[in-house]
Amino acid sequence: MSAKAVSELSGKQILYKYFEGTGLVNSPFAFHVKTGDDFNQVAGSYEWLTKAGKGVIKPDQLIKRRGKMGLVEFGSPKELRNWFNDVAFRHFQVANSLGRLDTFIVEPFCAHQEIDEMYIAIYSNRKEDTIMFYEHGGVDKTRFLKIPVQVDDNAMSPTDEQLDTLIGVGLPNFKVVKKFVDLLYKAYKELHFTYLEINPFVFVNNQIQILGLDGKVDKSAYYICSDKWRSRPTPMSAPMPVDFPAPFGRDLTREEHFIANLDAETGASLKLTIFNPNSRVWTIIPNEDINLTFRDTVCDLGGASELANYGEYYGDLSESQTFEYAKTILSIMTEEEPRSDGKVLIIGISIANFTNVAKTFGGIVKAFETYITKLKEQKVTVYVRRGGPNYQEGLRCLRDIAAAVELPVHVFGPETHMTAIVGAALGIHALPSMPIEPNTTGQFLLSPERNTAGTERQPASPAPTSTGANPWDFTPRGLFQKDTKTIFWGQEDDALLTILEFDIACGNKTPSVVARSASGTKDRKFYEFAEMAVYIPAYKSMAEACATHPEASVMVTFESMRSVYETVLEALEFPQLKVIAIIAEGVPENQTRKLLKVAAERGVTLIGPATIGGIKPGCFTIGYAGGEDERDFINSKLYRPGSVAYVSKSGGMSNELNNIISQNSDGVYEGIVIGADRYSGSSYVEHIARYQADDRVKMIVLLCKVGGTEEYKIAEMLNRGEITKPLVAWCIGTSADHITHDVQFFETASCKNDVLRSAGAIVPKSFGELGNTIRDTYDNFGTIVPQPEVPTPLVPMDFALARELGLIRKPESFEELINGGFPISKVLKSELGIGSVLGLLWFQKNLPAYANKFIEICLKLTADHGPAVSGAHNTIVSARAGNDLISLLTSGLLTIGDRFGGTLDGAARQFSNAMDNGLSPRRFVNKMIIQKKHIMGIGHRVKSINNPDERVKILKRFVMDKSQFTQGTPLLEFALEVEKITTTKHPNLILNVDGAIGVIFVDILRHSKVFTPAEAQQIIDSGTLNGLLIFGRSKLERNS
């Protein structure tokens, strides 16, 4: 959750700064005084305290109901100082938390009557904001006003009539309070609050006085609000950043502060909380959901009191960052007196999606080497279970270090259930048996076949329609199919390559990615696809990408949290896009809610934000869903569909689900990770409804987590009989019953599991039993018809990974240069001419022989230009300076343009656009006359219809000879018809050599059957053809 509680002082300062200049709210300079401070020295800097002679002091540590607990004092500065000195750093019990009082807020005393106290609170949910108000204080009797989410913030405001009803027109000072409530809601939105309670506020001295405040802001909006969240400057201090205090009773240790600072310096996530440094069970586990699952298992086995720490390390961490993280944990673990029963360190647990396991384990190995002596003194036993990219190398490093230093380390891969090692670590169960792996170098052989098979596929039932008029209840189905095509937006090439590798594994004949975003100008990029070289065009314009590829129905965006809102909002304008996956974490909640509204209104399924995506085995994957390492989706049989569909919030657990389901059934039919943010783009309910309606899905798995209430809607669906297929469900986070937590009772995992079980879902006793429960349910289903297993696909191993694993060696010389699939040696052996070489270099295509010859003719014809022609002079100077060929080409192009020196591109665009728009030659000429534009490629200063340009005659003679030039030339024929019209006006308005080359080249692009229409149009639009002119001149002048 990105909602973070702010201190009362920060919350008030943020609002005071917002209301500054309105005269509506009294904005005193309150201040903090902390344990160890000299009260008189701090207070002496604030004149209001000495002038007023009276103030209020209370703890500012996220403690509620301070007045009822006797934690509010008012009086003179002396009385405040005495109370502070008496209370500061005392232990105090608040609910179940025991902590020290160390931070206090001091502010002016406001004399008032209790009957004048008013209450207001604002909070947000998925579809609306709610304002609660009561004029006599307290939450019990409040009136409510709900404001639906709107994309336009101005439209998302209460009306005068609504505010009148909420506040009550009979209230004294009604107009002032109404204006305050209206502006406060604007502040709530602009400052990205997620919860704001002012209890109470009063109207005194013609101003609103805010007495008590409790607030949370969306920390994901920091990049938007960092300046707005800073306090006002005071006479004694510069503006201070917003303060996010730790929950009461949780004072950060030195080591926790160190990791928090390390986390702030990286884009990855590093978290550490120490429960008890004397405890026995320690962990180095990647992320929150894996940690929750591990803690659940420990608590289920009776080991809750032995948990020593909680932590996270995930993202693109370097080896040095992982070393610092692991070293910090080992330093705390080994600083206490040794226990007679020793200590246990559990590492990894999960199957990574895209984290390089070897790289992160490298840091852990270095930490082991640093603390090996102390680890032995503490009698530490290490248990490791990990999977994911490069996991074999990571596990091997741990085995090697353990053998070298004689440290007991038990290492397991993804073949072992993720929680199986917990019982062994606690001494309750025996060690899991080691799976048999193929005895091959580098694991090039694929894993042995399991006794599972695909199922008989029935035709899909018709898509269900929406059950009501409310667009938020839209429940689409059939998100991905075998022929699904996607537009990939963002610069995450590794994820794009993973999609292509999955396509290969599934036997898809063509890539599912048809377009991607361009990082700069338009370009195309070469990718290996099976044994072919494929080009995926890149676009700066999303509109152009969608128009060029109408078959694309999915967009996968890896844009950052700062730009993804605008990207997705634009994507929602294109009806062809039915599914949009938002991978980015940290998207501000207000932006997400707006996207949800627009998507629901337009029938688009959003997946994310903060998701790994989704996967449809045998068809399509989103980014890293299924794993970055191709062996993950081979081992989990994701290359063909099974019968079990799942939905989860946890990306970290998605590979585990793939693994567990494939081991205990015929495999995954579809898996969706809806996203870890508070507001996910789609819901459990939507996807389970799709699975229920799809005859190909025989069984459903739901993996949810502590917090939220959507699971109760699924229980209601079960009770109403809307879900009839077997539903295996588990809610992780049951350890919250044993460990202090911050969720409501009905949001606990145990409560959800009980409700789902009562409604008819199949709920195991623990997560460790999930696999067995799936197997028993699958075996007892009885109607699935096994089909012969499809052959295991061979997916080429990534070269960089293979080299990192040491499976291949780097050749003595660098790898051979390849253009358009042609290695340079083949170019030389084939004795290809300059035309062929340019085709490979410029267009990455092996052009037909006649096209190559045409290029060579063009170079010869353009090389006859003298030094006075535009572009040639720059080229001569650059050549004389000794520059390379590329420098010559670019220097010449800078002085070539449509109006002077080179009209190839202009002619190509004008003539092709006219023909594409259905204009006749006559209408085209008339249109250009009306617009007072020159027709590019028409006209010559010397040559005329009576004195033809010999170069144009050579080109036409070659192209018209169909024994050599074996394709159609409709654009040339169009241009010659235009010439007939223009020469009637003036004999020198002929088709010149630039125009002839331009239109003939367009014919080659469009009718040689080498380029796709999109590729051809991209070359026409990108301004490439003038390069032929410059290259010919550069070649001549270089030789001179």
How confident is the model over 930-942, as a mean pLDDT? 88
Count of beta carbons in the 10 Å neighbourhood of residue 434? 12
Count of beta carbons in the 10 Å neighbourhood of residue 439? 7
Per this entry, what is the length of the chain? 1040
The pLDDT score that the predictor gives to residue 871 is: 63
Lowest mean pLDDT among 240-249, 535-544, 909-918: 240-249
Q: Measure the CA–CA gap between 372 and 374, rounded to whole angstroms.
A: 6
The pLDDT score that the predictor gives to residue 391 is: 77
Q: Which is nearest to 246 in space by CA: 402, 68, 97?
A: 97
Tell me the residue type at 957.
Answer: R
Indicate the pairing of strand 380-387 with strand 409-412. Answer: parallel
Which has more pLDDT, 400 or 165? 165
The pLDDT score that the predictor gives to residue 820 is: 55
Question: Residues of the chain with pLDDT > 90: what percent?
Answer: 45
Model pLDDT for residues 23-39, shown as the tens digit of each residue:
999 999 999 999 889 99
Query: Is 435 a residue whose pLDDT tops 80?
Result: no
Model pLDDT for residues 671-711, shown as the tens digit of each residue:
999 998 889 999 999 999 999 999 999 999 999 988 788 89
How confident is the model over 560-589, as a mean pLDDT? 95
Q: What are phi and psi of 499, to 5 degrees?
A: -60, -45
How confident is the model over 173-194, as a mean pLDDT? 96
Query: Is 447 a residue whose pLDDT tops 50?
Result: no
> To 5 degrees, how large is the angle CA 391–CA 394–CA 397?
150
User: Using H for helix, E for strand and C for coil, what is the string for 667-678?
Assistant: CEEEEEECCCCC
Half-sphere exposure (CA, 13 Å, Cβ side) for 776?
9
Assess if CATH 3.40.50.300 describes domain 3-225.
no
Model pLDDT for residues 472-498, shown as the tens digit of each residue:
333 444 799 999 999 999 988 888 988
Q: Measure the CA–CA gap between 428 and 762, rounded to whole angstroms.
A: 26
Q: Which is nearest to 314 in space by CA: 354, 344, 273, 274?
A: 354
Model pLDDT for residues 371-385, shown as the tens digit of each residue:
999 999 999 999 988
Q: Measure the CA–CA gap between 871 and 874, rounded to whole angstroms.
A: 6
Q: Measure the CA–CA gap between 352 and 361, rounded to whole angstroms.
A: 12
Model confidence at 190, pLDDT cuts 50, 70, 90, reads very high
Do the Cβ atoms of 607 and 674 come closer than 8 Å? yes
Query: Is 455 a residue whose pLDDT tops 60?
Result: no
Residues 6 or more apart whose CB falls under 8 angstroms from that of 626 comprise: 502, 615, 632, 633, 636, 638, 654, 655, 658
Three-state secondary structure call for residue 564: helix
Give, to the nearest 10 degrees, the angle between helix 254-264 and helix 319-333.
Answer: 170
The pLDDT score that the predictor gives to residue 311 is: 87
Model confidence at 446, pLDDT cuts 50, 70, 90, reads very low
Three-state secondary structure call for residue 860: helix
The pLDDT score that the predictor gives to residue 804 is: 63
Model confidence at 421, pLDDT cuts 50, 70, 90, reads confident
Asked, as a colleague might, if the bond just before 200 is cis with ω within 30 of 0, I would say yes
Q: Measure the CA–CA gap between 687 and 479, rounded to whole angstroms.
A: 10
Asked, as a colleague might, if the bond just before 575 is cis with ω within 30 of 0, I would say no
Tell me the residue type at 79.
Answer: E
Count of beta carbons in the 10 Å neighbourhood of residue 744? 11
Q: Which is nearest to 134 in space by CA: 125, 146, 145, 143?
A: 143
Query: Is 322 a residue whose pLDDT tops 80?
Result: yes
Which has more pLDDT, 725 or 794? 725
Do the Cβ atoms of 525 and 500 come closer than 8 Å? no
Q: Bridge-partner residues for 868, per DSSP?
A: none
Q: Which is nearest to 294 in space by CA: 364, 222, 350?
A: 350
Model confidence at 48, pLDDT cuts 50, 70, 90, reads confident
The strand order across the sheet containing 409-412 reads 281-284, 343-351, 380-387, 409-412
How confident is the model over 952-959, as a mean pLDDT? 92
User: Using H for helix, E for strand and C for coil, what is the string for 588-605?
Assistant: CHHHHHHHHHHHHHCCCE
Model pLDDT for residues 614-650, shown as the tens digit of each residue:
999 999 999 888 877 666 778 888 999 999 999 999 8
Helix (H) or strand (E) holding 114, with range, is none
Q: How many helices (DSSP H) and strands (DSSP E) are in the chain? A: 36, 34
Model confidence at 783, pLDDT cuts 50, 70, 90, reads low
Do the Cβ atoms of 56 and 108 come closer than 8 Å? yes
CA torsion, ordered 837, 842, 843, 845, to nearest 10 deg? 20
Query: Is 260 a residue whose pLDDT tops 60?
Result: yes
Model pLDDT for residues 977-1030, shown as the tens digit of each residue:
999 999 988 889 999 988 999 999 999 999 988 888 888 888 888 777 776 666
Count of beta carbons in the 10 Å neighbourhood of residue 540? 13
Which has more pLDDT, 393 or 757? 757
Question: Distance of CA 322 to CAs 300, 364, 397, 412, Å?
Answer: 30, 6, 15, 20
The pLDDT score that the predictor gives to residue 836 is: 75
The pLDDT score that the predictor gives to residue 686 is: 95
Q: Measure the CA–CA gap between 244 and 250, rounded to whole angstroms.
A: 13
Query: Is 559 a residue whose pLDDT tops 90?
Result: yes
Residues 6 or more apart whose CB falls under 8 angstroms from that of 227 comprise: none
Q: Bridge-partner residues for 385, per DSSP?
A: 348, 412
First-to-final CA distance of the chain: 69
Lowest mean pLDDT among 206-215, 348-357, 656-665, 965-974: 348-357
Q: Measure the CA–CA gap between 12 and 231, rounded to whole angstroms.
A: 9
Indicate the pairing of strand 3-6 with strand 213-218. Answer: antiparallel
> Per-domain residue ranges for the chain?
3-225, 254-437, 847-1039
How confident is the model over 47-59, as a mean pLDDT? 88
Question: Distance of CA 794 to CAs 503, 505, 639, 641, Å?
Answer: 12, 7, 11, 17
Which has more pLDDT, 138 or 330? 330
Q: Measure the CA–CA gap between 594 and 192, rounded to whole angstroms.
A: 13
Most confident of 421-430, 739-748, 833-842, 897-906: 421-430
Q: Bridge-partner residues for 99, per DSSP?
A: 92
Mean residue pLDDT of the chain comes to: 84
Q: Bridge-partner residues for 208, per DSSP?
A: 25, 203
Chain position carrying tokens 């660098």 = 814
Tell me the residue type at 103.
Answer: T
Do the Cβ atoms of 596 and 462 come closer than 8 Å? no
Assess if CATH 3.40.630.40 describes domain 254-437.
no
Q: Bridge-partner residues for 270, per DSSP?
A: 313
Count of beta carbons in the 10 Å neighbourhood of residue 71? 19
The pLDDT score that the predictor gives to residue 434 is: 64
Do the Cβ atoms of 39 and 88 come closer than 8 Å? no
Residues 6 or more apart whose CB falls under 8 angstroms from that of 21 comprise: none
Q: What are phi and psi of 607, to 5 degrees?
A: -115, 120
The pLDDT score that the predictor gives to residue 1022 is: 75
Q: Measure the CA–CA gap between 572 and 599, rounded to whole angstroms.
A: 7
Query: Does 3-225 match 254-437 in CATH topology?
Result: no
Q: Measure the CA–CA gap between 679 and 808, rounded to whole angstroms.
A: 46
Q: Measure the CA–CA gap between 412 and 387, rounded to whole angstroms.
A: 9
Q: Which is nearest to 503 in space by CA: 515, 518, 485?
A: 485
Could you tell me if residue 525 is left (phi over 0), alpha (psi between -120 and 50 degrees) or otherwise beta? beta
Do the Cβ atoms of 757 and 730 come closer than 8 Å? no
Query: Is 949 a residue whose pLDDT tops 80?
Result: yes
Could you tell me if residue 507 is left (phi over 0), alpha (psi between -120 and 50 degrees) or otherwise beta? left
Model pLDDT for residues 884-932, shown as the tens digit of each residue:
877 877 777 777 665 555 678 888 899 999 999 999 999 999 999 888 8
Q: Measure the CA–CA gap between 193 and 860, rounded to whole angstroms.
A: 69
Query: Is 443 a residue whose pLDDT tops 70?
Result: no
The pLDDT score that the predictor gives to residue 709 is: 84
Model confidence at 867, pLDDT cuts 50, 70, 90, reads low
The pLDDT score that the predictor gives to residue 870 is: 58
